């Protein structure tokens, strides 16, 4: 009886001490948050660093819909696509990155037209 109990406790403790699986080994990872800098003025003025999740559509916040004049990512490994409608619908533009940030979206016909965006790794 003692031996059986001992091995049951030992097995339970070993399971607790098992190393965590490496990324991508059957673990559901939540997409990491990042920042997409959206600005009401050209030249990155009057800006908000919007939290966004990789691969998930983000709708423009109240006061920002159809009011964005410049944009860029804050992480060089990320690029974001932009849409004219909420829920990443309508016409798509981009991608926009940190090294190719759009200082004036009007140069691309996108001034005050963004309603949503989705970011992904390059």
Cα(33)–Cα(102) distance, rounded to whole angstroms?
A: 21
User: Tell me: the pLDDT tens digits for 67-122?
Assistant: 999 999 988 999 999 999 999 999 999 999 998 789 999 999 999 999 999 999 98
Per CATH, domain 33-121 is 2.60.20.10: yes
Domain ranges of the chain: 33-121
- Cα pseudo-dihedral 98, 118, 41, 72, rounded to 10: 0
- List, for residues 10-45, the tens digit of each pLDDT value: 344 333 343 433 444 444 444 556 789 999 999 999
Q: C-alpha angle 88/41/82, rounded to 5°?
A: 15
Say what the pLDDT of residue 52 is: 87
* pLDDT on residue 14: 37
Q: Which of the pair, 38 or 7, is modelled with greater confidence?
A: 38
Cα–Cα distance, 42 to 39 (Å, whole number):
7
The predicted model gives 57-72 an average pLDDT of 96
């Amino acid at each position: 009886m003692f031996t059986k109990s001992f091995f049951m406790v030992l097995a339970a403790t070993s399971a607790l001490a098992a190393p965590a699986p490496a990324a991508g080994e059957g673990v559901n990872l939540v997409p990491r948050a990042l920042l997409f800098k959206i600005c009401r003025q050209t030249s990155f003025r009057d800006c908000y660093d919007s939290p966004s999740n990789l691969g998930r559509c983000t709708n423009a916040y109240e006061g920002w819909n159809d009011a964005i004049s410049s944009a860029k990512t804050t992480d060089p490994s990320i690029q974001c696509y932009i849409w004219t409608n909420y829920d990443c619908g309508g016409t798509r533009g981009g991608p926009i990155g940190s090294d190719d940030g759009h200082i004036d979206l009007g140069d691309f016909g996108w001034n005050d037209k963004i309603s949503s965006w989705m970011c992904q790794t390059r």
